[in-house]
Structure 1
């Protein structure tokens, strides 16, 4: 990036000092300047998109983790109730036999 700005500075100096080719160097300066800014803007946009997508993925992961935790808790409660119902039924069956 520094060399790009060195090129711009050189073109600017040529524009100021070479009166014969001033227009050519000025046009070249503007083209190079626009190209540099376009590349910088593209790079900045890519990083912004990556940061946004990373935030979205982290948020989805948190939601899925929370959901999995709820499913595990619900499963434990359900199986505990099943075991309790089984033991109650078994105790009632034994009490009827007595």
Structure 2
């Protein structure tokens, strides 16, 4: 799990695609390992969603590419509203 300080450091990193991918991978590894505390896994998933939103604002193509992974990860953790946010953005993007 990333500490708030580590996440703030990542926020300064301009590559939101890589940041999002890193967080999605970290969440997957934590789930596979049944890492405790579970709330840290949920926090990392929420951070991934926040990073993905930044990516969507700056690089729509990159956000579209990784959207399915982000949405699936969020859904696995019961973060349905965030998952639906990702899917809604993707739907709006391709409905145009």
TM over 0.5: same fold? no
Report which of the two has the higher share of helix. 1
Q: TM-score, normalised by structure 2?
A: 0.35
Highest RCO, 1 vs 2 (Cα 8 Å, sep ≥ 6): 2
Structure with higher Rg: it is 1
